């Protein structure tokens, strides 16, 4: 007995549905932006997201008054959930760049419909990552001292510190991401402007479109700029995570002093960032009714990227265990065994199951074409990567080289409020992108439609 796959999952399947035309594509995607009233599901989602964002505002206000002692951080665990979630949010944001920039360079056709979701996710997650170190500062009002300028006291940042490298990389990454997003969405803003009926929307999107008229010279310049920025963004996402890994590898703390951390952190970004894009793509596909544009072809491709990320991460986990077991550092070995058999053992083993074991189901086409299973596996990966970051940061500090300084980290209510609040900030920003900007790249999908029709 043989099983026949749906047409959209076959190797030669069209990237978009056959009944999608250039006109229907523009009207369908732009119509979601130009509708007078947002649908009920959007208001419900936005209300929940904004409520969580309010939790972040309250948490930050009280934190700046009372200090980071409100959190569970103390000696020896001076870095808690805030730093762990900083690394986690950076990984989620980097996944957007991997899908958008890296797969643009490989000319992957499925990337055309998902890149705008990936870029919106990137710009929504990056502020969440940037807030975490600022909240963790003892004097957050002076965070601008990290900028390389000479103040009245003649104090300059320590340029040999990986923490300063991290700040510079993140700053450049956010600025480049904004420009990259705007360079790609510029033709779509002009399409929305031309289809708008309201005078206010015509003026609003006309200003954002910067006078785009679609001339051959404008298209040529836009393609050149976008290709160059893609070539810059692809290695930049690798460098950002390499520097984040050096933040830990540069220290002598057991469990951190490891040369594999730059690629290890990048592998985590691939799987966790793609998992978020998968969940958002499924929700956008359902909420906006874009089943003809965001097809099973795209979900299948994203699932394969997640599978590759899971395999790479599993490889990194093997070497993470090999070092302490094979090496001669007693402190490293003790910390590792405490991690897998001690207080953090539930986090350790559940994280390995969620990020390495369960994603192996993606080898099966039956799983890759089931939206519910893809959504659940993606959610499990995101939770597992959060557990991995928390365990990675806190477990090493709990069992350092001096046994008399060992301790256990317990998060407080305000730790959880910071997590919930940044999730609210992320969702609030993404819902705004979803409402006021085309969530699918009209210009790039048009090229795919024309290529499909010419076959």
pLDDT of 246 over the 90 cut: no
Question: What mean pLDDT, rounded, does the chain reach?
Answer: 88
pLDDT of 207 over the 60 cut: yes
Q: How much is the pLDDT for 3?
A: 43
Q: How much is the pLDDT for 193?
A: 94
Give the pLDDT confidence of 134-151 residue by residue, as tens digits.
888 877 777 777 777 666
Give the pLDDT confidence of 140-190 residue by residue, as tens digits.
777 777 777 666 566 677 777 777 888 888 888 889 999 999 999 999 999
pLDDT (mean) for 344-359:
94
Q: How much is the pLDDT for 151?
A: 60
Q: Pick the residue with more confidence: 16 or 387?
A: 387
Domain ranges of the chain: 16-145+156-453
pTM for the complete prediction? 0.92
Q: How much is the pLDDT for 455?
A: 66
Give the pLDDT confidence of 259-308 residue by residue, as tens digits.
888 889 889 999 999 999 999 999 999 988 888 899 999 999 999 999 99
Q: Pick the residue with more confidence: 22 or 203?
A: 203
pLDDT of 4 over the 70 cut: no
Residues 137 and 30: their CA atoms lie apart, in Å, by 43
Could you name the CATH architecture of 16-145+156-453?
Answer: Up-down Bundle (1.20)
* Position 372 confidence tier, pLDDT thresholds 50, 70, 90: very high
């Amino acid at each position: 007995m043989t099983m026949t796959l749906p047409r959209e999952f076959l190797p030669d399947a069209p990237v978009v549905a056959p009944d999608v035309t250039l006109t229907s594509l523009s009207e369908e995607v732009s119509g979601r932006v130009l509708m007078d009233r947002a649908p009920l599901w959007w208001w419900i989602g936005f209300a929940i997201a904004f409520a969580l964002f309010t939790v972040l505002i309250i948490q930050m206000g009280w934190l700046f008054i009372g200090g980071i002692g409100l959190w569970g951080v103390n000696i020896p665990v001076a870095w808690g959930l805030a730093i762990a979630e900083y690394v986690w949010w950076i990984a989620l944001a980097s996944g957007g760049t991997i899908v958008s920039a890296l797969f643009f360079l490989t000319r992957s056709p499925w990337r055309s419909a998902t890149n705008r979701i990936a870029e919106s996710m990137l710009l929504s997650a990056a502020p969440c990552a940037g807030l975490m170190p600022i909240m963790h500062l003892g004097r957050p009002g002076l965070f601008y001292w990290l900028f390389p300028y000479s103040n009245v006291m003649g104090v300059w940042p320590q340029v040999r510190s990986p923490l300063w490298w991290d700040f510079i990389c993140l700053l450049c990454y956010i600025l480049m991401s904004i420009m990259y997003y705007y360079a790609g969405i510029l033709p779509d803003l002009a399409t929305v402007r031309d289809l708008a009926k309201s005078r206010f929307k015509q003026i609003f999107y006309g200003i954002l479109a910067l006078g785009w008229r679609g001339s051959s010279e404008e298209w040529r310049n836009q393609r050149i700029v976008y290709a160059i920025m893609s070539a810059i963004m692809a290695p930049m996402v690798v460098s950002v995570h390499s520097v984040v890994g050096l933040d830990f590898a540069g220290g002598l703390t057991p469990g951190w002093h490891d040369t594999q951390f730059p690629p290890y952190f990048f592998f985590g970004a691939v799987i966790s960032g793609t998992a978020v894009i998968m969940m958002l793509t499924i929700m956008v596909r359902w909420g906006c009714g874009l089943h003809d544009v965001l097809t099973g072809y795209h979900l299948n491709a994203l699932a394969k990227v997640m599978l590759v990320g899971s395999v790479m991460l599993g490889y990194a986990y093997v070497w993470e265990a090999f070092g302490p077991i094979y090496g001669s550092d007693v402190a490293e070995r003790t910390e590792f065994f405490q991690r897998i058999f001690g207080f953090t053992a539930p986090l350790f083993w559940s994280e390995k199951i969620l990020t390495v074991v369960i994603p192996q189901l993606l080898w099966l086409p039956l799983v890759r074409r089931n939206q519910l299973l893809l959504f659940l596996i993606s959610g499990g990966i995101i939770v597992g990567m959060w557990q991995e970051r928390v365990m990675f940061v806190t477990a090493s500090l709990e069992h350092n080289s001096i046994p008399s300084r060992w301790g256990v980290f317990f998060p407080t209510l305000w730790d959880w409020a910071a997590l919930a609040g940044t999730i609210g900030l992320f969702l609030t920003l993404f819902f705004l992108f979803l409402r006021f900007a085309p969530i699918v790249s009209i210009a790039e999908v048009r090229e795919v439609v024309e290529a499909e029709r010419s076959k």
